[in-house]
Amino acid sequence: MCGIVGYVGGGNVYDILIGGLHRLEYRGYDSAGVALESPSGKLSVYKTLGKVSNLEAFCKDKDTDASVGIAHTRWATHGEPSDCNAHPHYSEDGNIAIVHNGTIENYKIIKDALTQHGCTFKSETDTEVLAQLIEYVRVTNNCSLVDAVREALKEVIGAYAIAVIEKDHPDTIVAARQSSPLVVGIGDGEYFLASDATPFVEFTDKVVYVDDGQIAVITRGEPLRLLDLDNKESNVDVKKLKMSISQLEKGGYPHFMLKEIFEQPETLRDCIRGRVVEGGKRVILNGVFDNQEKFLKAERIILVACGTSWHASLIGKYLLQDMCRIPVEVEYASEFRYSNPVIIDRDIVIAVSQSGETADTLAAIKIAKKMGAFVYGISNVVGSSIPRETDSGTYIHVGPEIGVASTKAFTGQVMVLTLLAVCIGQLRGHLNAEQVQKLGEAILKIPAYVKETLKLDKTIERLSLIYTYAHNFLYLGRGYSYPVALEGALKLKEISYIHAEGYPAAEMKHGPIALIDSEMPSVIIAPKDHLYDKIVSNVQQVKARGGSIIAIVSDGDETISGIADHVLKVPDVPECLTPIITSIPLQLLSYHIAINKGKDVDMPRNLAKSVTVE
């Protein structure tokens, strides 16, 4: 996590950096800072605890005239959030300043060695150690900053995207990447540098994705150079960025989260476009059709993901099992990577990740590839690490997701997993043409049904007032609705800070039922599906113990509607498509409860959107 930005060029350096930090704030907001170098080579560092707006207030009376600069928004790993631990960090002699996203695993050993050479440290961070190491190498070897960065990084174990500037060199930024994202934007006589392309989307559409092990040397008036740690130069592959500024703005909504919830009819349409064709007759995913042999021979599918993406993957398991009759496992990437997994070359590993940068998911991919599996990626961010590391894959194409709590990316992931299941199902002969057409037609109607479901917003807003001060919630569902229950509980936890647990409804009687009383609301996801009659019994069990019930049911429902305290009716869709529909009221419920509690829904405490650390 953490976001880094850099700029060299004729524009207003400070304004560009601050604008960029605002765009990257989703990556962390414990502290923020800038290092600015004036045209005469004077280096100034301003940094402060809290959000970027605090930094702006702090810099109001400071000299911000600069020709080059770097900036950072932090999600704390080493050292508590504080002014002192905020980035940029600088060498003891004040000669270089650095911003860093990632973690240096062997920082303690390096720190001890530098201390023996007389270095002293102000902060508790691993990044300050890197700053001091680079400067130590530069002074000891009497070499250039680029060479010092190269040599220093040879000593470092860990993940980093760094940007470094040096006093008296107001034209140059040296940046490097290992396992943390880094993109360079090439403008007209100017260069941008950032953790993703959002800080410079309005300035240029020419981007270069820096690869692991590469150092980018960015100098005003000179071509961009990419070197490896052995000083070998590689070609610069300039790509065209497909992102628009309007995708990064709130578009009249008070929060990104609400905008993203309401965007879902459109984002799902984008996700389906060109993939469900001939009126639903055929479902095409190029990533599958280009690798037919692998999908035909596969003996098992393992889905790896974290958080909300893991919940989408769990829905993927139900979809793939139902439509492809293939064994499917779902693993938390963080567990999978250390579980000594058994993988064979007929396994397909599917990594699901909105950001495409989650460190645990990336590590799981690397292990699976090494062990011979074919690895497929499902991501949102074009050009991010996961699509680049995987053998093949599919983008969900839902546009940038800025709200930290994932909403449109979740439904996009579920949609792509549905398309994937239909695609593999037809390829392996488990779905006939008639079944594919029926599913295809139903998929095409989903955006309209999501739009219909969003009309529940005002009802949910009123309902949320009753439950704003509940201390705990249970979310219950069965079959396809079980992962939806997990996701509903996670949404509530992360933005309203109310404890919530998702549970398979039938498991409730094996323990959690003891929690039920009048103080414990249950949200029960019970659309019309093959388990409907079963969940009716679970609803009655909660009711019999005095628990209040909010039920998500299909249009036309009568039975549960007669028992539950509050009923939210959603369009009746085929069972395999219910998760996309039933998750919408849960997103709205968590949003409104959090707003009632005065919480910052777009930037909930302690969280960051892109988890690039273990």
Closest CB 613 distance from ligand F6R, rounded Å = 11
Beta strand pairing call for 96-104 and 158-166 = antiparallel
Closest CB 30 distance from ligand F6R, rounded Å = 17
**Local structure of 185: helix, strand or coil:** strand
609 noted as active-site residue: yes
Query: What is each CA distance from 524 to 318, 458, 536, in whole angstroms?
Result: 19, 20, 10
Tokens (6 digits) for 40: 């005469």
Beta strand pairing call for 499-504 and 549-554 = unpaired
C-alpha atoms less than 13 angstroms from C-alpha of 297 in its C-beta half-sphere? 10
Q: Which of 367, 285, 382 is nearest to 333 (CA)?
A: 367
Q: Which of 602, 10, 609, 509 is nearest to 249 (CA)?
A: 602
State which residue has the least CB distance to ligand F6R.
307
**Alpha-carbon distance 533 to 513, whole Å?**
19
**Alpha-carbon distance 540 to 467, whole Å?**
21
Using CB under 6 A, pick the residue from 114, 523, 611, 613 that binds ligand F6R. 611
Residue among 481 and 583 whose Cβ is closer to ligand F6R? 583
**Alpha-carbon distance 571 to 276, whole Å?**
21
Tokens (6 digits) for 299: 């003996």
The verdict on 85 binding ligand F6R (CB under 6 A) reads: no
Closest CB 403 distance from ligand F6R, rounded Å = 8
Set 47, 259, 294, 609: catalytic member: 609
- For ligand F6R, which stretch binds (CB under 6 A), given 46-54, 293-301, 302-310, 502-510? 302-310
Residue among 156 and 586 whose Cβ is closer to ligand F6R? 586
Residue among 381 and 525 whose Cβ is closer to ligand F6R? 381
Q: What are phi and psi of 360, to 5 degrees?
A: -65, -40
Closest CB 200 distance from ligand F6R, rounded Å = 21
Beta strand pairing call for 472-477 and 499-504 = parallel
Tokens (6 digits) for 179: 């396992």
**Alpha-carbon distance 201 to 5, whole Å?**
13
Residue among 68 and 490 whose Cβ is closer to ligand F6R? 490
- For ligand F6R, which stretch binds (CB under 6 A), given 277-285, 348-356, 448-456, 587-595? 348-356
Using CB under 6 A, pick the residue from 361, 392, 548, 587 that binds ligand F6R. 361
Q: What are phi and psi of 113, to 5 degrees?
A: -65, -45
The verdict on 309 binding ligand F6R (CB under 6 A) reads: yes
Tokens (6 digits) for 565: 């305290």
**Alpha-carbon distance 590 to 497, whole Å?**
10
String marking each residue 450-489 x if it binds ligand F6R according to CB under 6 A: ----------------------------------------
- Whether 210 and 226 have beta carbons less than 8 Å apart is answered as yes
Q: Which of residues 128-157 bind ligand F6R (CB under 6 A)?
A: none
The verdict on 31 binding ligand F6R (CB under 6 A) reads: no
- For ligand F6R, which stretch binds (CB under 6 A), given 227-235, 253-261, 301-309, 545-553? 301-309
Residue among 217 and 409 whose Cβ is closer to ligand F6R? 409
- Whether 483 and 513 have beta carbons less than 8 Å apart is answered as no
Closest CB 359 distance from ligand F6R, rounded Å = 9
The verdict on 264 binding ligand F6R (CB under 6 A) reads: no
Residue type, 23: R
Residue among 135 and 260 whose Cβ is closer to ligand F6R? 260
**Alpha-carbon distance 526 to 532, whole Å?**
6
The verdict on 355 binding ligand F6R (CB under 6 A) reads: yes
The verdict on 394 binding ligand F6R (CB under 6 A) reads: no
192 beta partners: 7, 185
Number of chain positions touching ligand F6R (CB under 6 A) = 15
C-alpha atoms less than 13 angstroms from C-alpha of 55 in its C-beta half-sphere? 33
The verdict on 384 binding ligand F6R (CB under 6 A) reads: no
Q: Which of 418, 200, 422, 115 is nearest to 295 (CA)?
A: 422
**CB within 8 A of 450, min separation 6: which ones?**
264, 265, 268, 411, 580, 581, 584
Closest CB 196 distance from ligand F6R, rounded Å = 12
The verdict on 307 binding ligand F6R (CB under 6 A) reads: yes
Map tokens 């702090």 to a residue.
58
Set 2, 59, 324, 576: catalytic member: 2
Tokens (6 digits) for 493: 């936890």
Residue among 191 and 410 whose Cβ is closer to ligand F6R? 410
- Whether 162 and 170 have beta carbons less than 8 Å apart is answered as no
The verdict on 358 binding ligand F6R (CB under 6 A) reads: yes
Sign of the C-alpha dihedral computed for residues 8, 9, 13 and 16 taken in this order: negative
Q: Which of residues 398-457 bind ligand F6R (CB under 6 A)?
A: 405-406
Residue among 86 and 405 whose Cβ is closer to ligand F6R? 405
Residue 61 has a CB neighbour count (10 Å cut-off) of: 7
457 beta partners: none
Residue among 132 and 361 whose Cβ is closer to ligand F6R? 361
- For ligand F6R, which stretch binds (CB under 6 A), given 269-277, 351-359, 559-567, 570-578? 351-359
Residue among 391 and 602 whose Cβ is closer to ligand F6R? 602
The verdict on 604 binding ligand F6R (CB under 6 A) reads: no
Residue among 214 and 590 whose Cβ is closer to ligand F6R? 590
Using CB under 6 A, pick the residue from 64, 101, 354, 392 that binds ligand F6R. 354
Closest CB 357 distance from ligand F6R, rounded Å = 7
The verdict on 587 binding ligand F6R (CB under 6 A) reads: no
- For ligand F6R, which stretch binds (CB under 6 A), given 151-159, 266-274, 355-363, 595-603? 355-363
How far is it between the farthest Cα atoms of the chain? Answer: 80
Using CB under 6 A, pick the residue from 126, 331, 389, 494 that binds ligand F6R. 494
Using CB under 6 A, pick the residue from 31, 95, 180, 353 that binds ligand F6R. 353
Map tokens 């409104």 to a residue.
592
Closest CB 360 distance from ligand F6R, rounded Å = 8
Tell me which residues touch ligand F6R (CB under 6 A). Answer: 306-309, 353-355, 358, 361, 405-406, 490, 494, 610-611
Residues identified as active-site: 2, 609
